[in-house]
C-alpha cells in the first residue's frame, strides 16, 4: 500500500479530520533526497496498514498547504494527530525514524 498523494483541496479531510495518526511527507519530484525517501515512505505505509495513514504532499502543487505548515526544506515530515502537529523533522531519515515518530500515537 503506497502513500496517498494529497492536494490543497483534499488535505483537511484526509489529514486534519483523520481518526488515526497521519505521517505527512512534504516532497517535490525534482528533489533527489525526496525520491530516495519515497520507497521508504511507501514501506512505512504498507507496514502500518490501517493503524495510521501515510500521505504525500507535493509542495509545488499544494503550495497553500506547504506555506501553512512552514515547509522551507524538503523532504519534510509531520506527524499529525487530531488535527495537531505532534512532531516535525526533515531530511533523509531511516525507516525506523519514521516508525518511531508514529508509534507513540498509535492505538
Structural contact between residues 27 and 34, judged by C-beta atoms closer than 8 angstroms: yes
- Determine whether 34 is an active site residue: yes
CA 105 to chain centre: 14
Structural contact between residues 38 and 105, judged by C-beta atoms closer than 8 angstroms: no
Among 34, 59, 98, 101, which one carries the catalytic annotation?
34
- DSSP tag of 104: G
- Determine whether 19 is an active site residue: no
CA 98 to chain centre: 9
Q: Where are the beta strands (DSSP E) in 1-107?
A: 4-6, 22-27, 53-58, 76-81, 84-90
Among 3, 31, 59, 80, which one carries the catalytic annotation?
31
Active site residues per annotation:
31, 34
Amino acid at each position: 500500500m503506497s502513500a496517498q498523494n494529497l492536494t490543497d483541496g483534499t488535505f483537511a479531510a484526509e489529514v486534519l479530520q483523520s481518526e488515526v495518526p497521519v505521517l505527512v511527507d512534504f516532497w517535490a519530484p525534482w528533489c533527489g533526497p525526496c525520491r530516495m525517501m519515497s520507497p521508504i515512505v511507501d514501506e512505512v505505509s504498507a507496514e502500518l496498514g490501517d493503524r495510521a495513514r501515510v500521505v504525500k504532499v507535493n509542495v509545488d502543487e499544494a503550495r497553500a498547504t506547504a506555506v501553512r505548515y512552514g515547509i522551507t526544506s524538503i523532504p519534510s515530515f509531520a506527524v499529525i494527530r487530531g488535527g495537531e502537529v505532534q512532531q516535525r523533522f526533515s531530511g533523509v531519515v531511516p525507516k525506523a525514524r519514521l516508525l518511531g515518530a508514529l508509534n507513540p500515537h498509535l492505538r
